[in-house]
Amino acid sequence: MKKRKDKKSGKICGKWMVRNYNLKLLFILITFVIYSFAAAAAALIVLLAGKIIVKPMSIPNFIWVAILSVVLGLILSVLVSKMVLSPITRLEKAMSKVAKGDFAVRLETNSKVEEIKRSYDSFNIMVKELGSTEILQAGFVSDVSHEFRTPINAIEGYAMLLQSSDSVTEEQEEYIEKILLNTRRLTELTGGILLLSKIENSAIEPKCELFSLDEQIRQAIVSLEMKWQKKGIDFDVDLEKTQISGNPNLLSHVWLNLIDNAVKFSPEGGCVKMSLKNFSGTARFSIRDSGPGIKEEDISHIFDKFYQADNSHGKEGNGLGLALVKRIVNIHRGIIEVRNTEGSGAEFIVTLPLNSDNK
Ligand code: ADP
């Protein structure tokens, strides 16, 4: 009975092996072919060498023949294994795209190997599922953030009304200040989440226009004046005249966030250095602060959503700023880099093409 069962499964297996190959068997077959070929080639070379030289082969000659056949076998196995492993390499490349958040990637194959066909199919199903949950999640996040805005605005409005009332005691005034501070933080947070989800869902029209980048950066510095004045921060600014094509509303978030962070992390009376240069069709903005810099282990995470490496400033931010900055820079086909400077502090460098046709 057992034997029949085995026979039966062998039959099924045999059937599919006619149309498709089993990966294990394929490897055995390939190795066998390679070694047989190498051995046959070696024998042929020995034979030919024997005929040419007439006398029996000397030991050094035999070593040469052996080396030659090994090299030949090696080249063949590398070529064949490359061919066999190419579907796996494709799968690996597609997986790393998915890991970076690209859920549109799909794999097609004409391979006759059953395992490869099945893993490609499973991969496609997995990515489709992941993509749909991502869309659902993003839609939910965006809806919730939107719905949060109205009650937050109402709380802020009533708190401001209370603040303007004459009958408020000193203690109540303190509470009102705290309510206002936290509603502003919530407004910033929901605004950040909303903008981020819009960018991630490509719901924002890039709306490129030509504008003065140096002017925009200057405006960002001025709009943060309250913060840097309070800390007595000194600015060393060298901004070259730069006309850029991009989305001014989105790009202003980049400068505001980077300058805000530089001020936040610099000590009282510290210095922030900024420069804007353009060359080879790109604008290069650099901002250096005099703060503690960023720990090496945190550098690769600071662009992640809600990541705050330095908890001492947690109250002043929400960990969304740099995630937004990176995405905005990326949709303008630019790059952002960060490093610790030799003296002290962190340096952020944004490189943007002057004409980022990001459609
Ligand atoms: P946050 O709102 O917390 O500032 P960001 O996304 O802007 O959020 O920054 C993420 C984290 O990166 C910060 O919490 C901080 O730990 C680190 N970081 C950003 N800019 C600097 C800087 N100039 N110097 C030191 N650390 C920084």
Mutate to test the pocket of ligand 1, among 185, 261, 315 (most ligand atoms within 8 A of CB): 261
Indicate whether 355 pLDDT > 90. Answer: no
Q: Give the start-end residues of each E strand in 174-269.
A: 209-212, 234-239, 243-246
Indicate whether 191 pLDDT > 60. Answer: yes
Q: Which two tokens stand for residue 1?
A: 């009975």
* pTM flag (> 0.75): no
Spell out which residues line ligand 1, taking CB within 6 angstroms: 257, 261-262, 265, 289, 291, 294, 302, 307-310, 317-323, 346
Q: If you take atom 2 of ligand 1, which residue's CA is the nearest one?
A: 317
Which numbered atom of ligand 1 lies nearest the CA of 316? 2
Q: Is 67 exposed, middle or buried (0-12, 13-18, 19+ CB in 10 A)?
A: exposed
Q: If you take atom 14 of ligand 1, which residue's CA is the nearest one?
A: 308
SS3 call for 319 = coil
Report the distance separating Cα 346 and Cα 339, nearest Å. 6
Which numbered atom of ligand 1 lies nearest the CA of 319? 8
Mutate to test the pocket of ligand 1, among 258, 286, 302, 340 (most ligand atoms within 8 A of CB): 302
CA dihedral 327, 333, 336, 337 (to 10 degrees): 130
Pairing of strands 234-239, 271-279: parallel
**Lowest mean pLDDT across 107-116, 140-149, 154-163, 207-216:** 140-149
Indicate whether 27 pLDDT > 80. Answer: no
Which numbered atom of ligand 1 lies nearest the CA of 265? 24
Continuous segment of H or E residues that includes residue 25: helix 23-53
Interval between CA 322 and ligand 1 midpoint (Å)? 7
What's the pLDDT tens digit per position in 34-88? 777 777 777 777 777 766 665 666 667 667 777 777 777 778 777 877 777 788 8
Cβ within 8 Å of residue 112, ≥6 positions away: 19, 20, 21
Rounded to an integer, the average pLDDT of 231-238 is 94
pLDDT score for 86: 83
Angle among Cα 308, 309, 313 to the nearest 5 degrees reads 65
Q: If you take atom 23 of ligand 1, which residue's CA is the nearest one?
A: 262
Sign (positive or negative) of CA dihedral 292, 296, 299, 302: negative
Alpha helices of 277-320 — where are they, by DSSP H? 296-299
Interval between CA 332 and ligand 1 midpoint (Å)? 22
Among residues of the chain, what percentage have pLDDT more than 70?
83
Of 205, 207, 208, 206, give the one whose Cα is nearest residue 355: 208
Q: Which two tokens stand for residue 261?
A: 């962070």
State the first-to-last Cα distance of the chain, in angstroms, to the nearest integer. Answer: 66
Please tell me which residue, 163 or 275, carries the higher pLDDT value: 275
Interval between CA 309 and ligand 1 midpoint (Å)? 7
Q: If you take atom 21 of ligand 1, which residue's CA is the nearest one?
A: 261
Rounded to an integer, the average pLDDT of 260-266 is 94
What's the pLDDT tens digit per position in 161-171? 998 888 888 89
| Region label for 272, one of left (φ > 0), alpha (ψ between -120 and 50) or beta (otherwise) | beta
Provide the mean pLDDT of the chain. 82
Alpha helices of 100-169 — where are they, by DSSP H? 114-164
Mutate to test the pocket of ligand 1, among 257, 310, 318, 336 (most ligand atoms within 8 A of CB): 310
Indicate whether 331 pLDDT > 50. Answer: yes
- Report for 296-300, 343-347, 350-354: range of highest mean pLDDT: 350-354
Q: Which two tokens stand for residue 46?
A: 């020995």
Rounded to an integer, the average pLDDT of 317-331 is 90
